[in-house]
Chain A
Amino acid sequence: MIFLSLLWLFMGLLIGAIARAAQIHPAAWKQHTWVSMLTTGAIAASCGGWIGVLLLGRYFATAMALWVAVAGIVSVCWGVSRISHQ
């Protein structure tokens, strides 16, 4: 499981970096944008992976981590933008 946990963490970092480069980050995150995006990606992917193990088993957990990471980043960025607008 250590390997898979590290894999999901790395996947999350990568997806966070892609999301940052795709300018998905909220305008409120003017400082430490990269760190915030990478952290969000890593946490979302790890959560997705572990939820995947529980729901579908190890074999499909990585695929689950993939979409949960993307969904997590987009949701967090959207949520932060919405809160900062209010």
Chain B
Amino acid sequence: MMRNKVHTYKHHVVHTIQPESLQADTTRRASHKKIVFVLRFFLVLLFVSGIFLSLVPRGRAIARAALLLPTLITASQPAPLVLSGEPTRHTQMTVPSRSGTVYLDIYAPSTSVPLITDARGGILIIPGVGDNRQVPQLVNLSQALARSGMIVMDMTTPTLMAYDISAQDSDAAVQAFNAFANLPGMQGKHIGLIAFSAGVPVACFAAADPRIRDKVASVTLFGGYFNTEGVLRAFGRRAIDIDGHTEHWQPTDVPILTLTNVIMKPLAPAERSRIIQALAPHGKALTTNELAQLSPGTRAAYHLLIGDEPNRVDQNIAALPAAIHAELTELSPSRAIGQMRAPMFLLHDRNDRSIPVTESRDFAAALARLHYPYEYVEFHIFDHVEVLSNLKIGQILGDGPRLFSLLSDVLFVDSQ
């Protein structure tokens, strides 16, 4: 009995302690192997992502967009971009054109051109009306693009600075494009066009110009319009038809001033100055007697611009002089899309109060009908073309990924 007990005890020791130790050892080895595997996998991941972000053009576009997105959303350059980006240089130059002197602001890396020249693309920016050369958000965007290794040229013309639009400015854009193509590191490369607001028709006409259309990498249009008559119709109605219903739409002062300058050009000087004074910010509306002294065409234009006859928009448009109709047609990007070659990227804020979002929707619909390569994205974080301040996290999470995706697509095409 005693022997049996001892035997049982020994048996117990042999068969309980040793397997536990073995099991613990096996578990330790297995977990160690797992850690080693995870670390090796992590190294492979670092290797692959490093190659993708530096050597693959799509990866480089994503790397650029990753730091440009916070630049756009916060309207300032994040520390990683400043610390790891290129040092930049700002220079100014002018070139002559048929419509007058073209003013160019160039933001470029101050370092020498890299051996792999595909890493340095070029973008010609055509801001809207007014003198935007010192506008902080434009300077910020241009500098940030230059820090990411792109060369950026901002152009403006006397016409745009005078809050006016002219089809003649397309020659200014062509001359700027040619001057850009001659900069160091840009020879033989395609250049992207980015246009804001009233710069959109200028960019479209330039991109359709046979002198440069095959050298344009892409055309990005932000807050632009498709048809000038469509814009005038929205101004006259003070409403837009959107998503199956009619929505009140009140334009701001700058587009009213610009459209006034555009459509008053063919009118008699005396009538033109009267209307411009009445429609200027803080201007005094014309009385019934004063209106009666105007020609029918001028009166119709006035009602469309001031928006006091929303139910007579069609009649007022029909009453416009033929010269105004011709001007509206000439300034419509819709007439140029048949001659354009480069892929297009359309952006518009859903609640834009300068140019209705329906214009970009019409533009996208026309491109879709033509099977033209394009992307269209709507946002809620912009005030026309400038980012809103004090954005909520929900707005950033909603629009951020779409803006990132579009940015990386534009930068990919523009650095080819």
Contact = CB atoms under 8 A, between A and B. Distances in A.
A47 interface: no
Interface stretch (B83-91, B221-229, B243-251): B83-91
Interface stretch (B114-122, B174-182, B205-213, B259-267): B114-122
B30 to A, nearest CB: 15
Interface residues of A, number: 30
B50 A70 contact: yes
B77 to A, nearest CB: 13
Given A22-B36, A22-B39, A59 B46 contact: no
Contact of A64 (B40, B50, B109, B120): B50
Interface string A48-86: 000011111111111111111011001000000000000
Interface in B37-85: 39-40, 42-44, 46-51, 53-55, 59-60, 63-64, 83-85
Contacts of B348: none
B149 interface: yes
Given A59-B63, A71-B47, A4 B119 contact: no
5 contacts: A4-B84, A21-B39, A53-B114, A57-B119, A57-B149
B36 A60 contact: no
Contact of B83 (A4, A18, A19): A4
Contact of B114 (A15, A57, A65, A71): A57
A67 B120 contact: no
Interface in A8-39: 15, 18-19, 21-24
A64 B52 CA distance: 9
Contact of A70 (B36, B47, B63, B114): B47
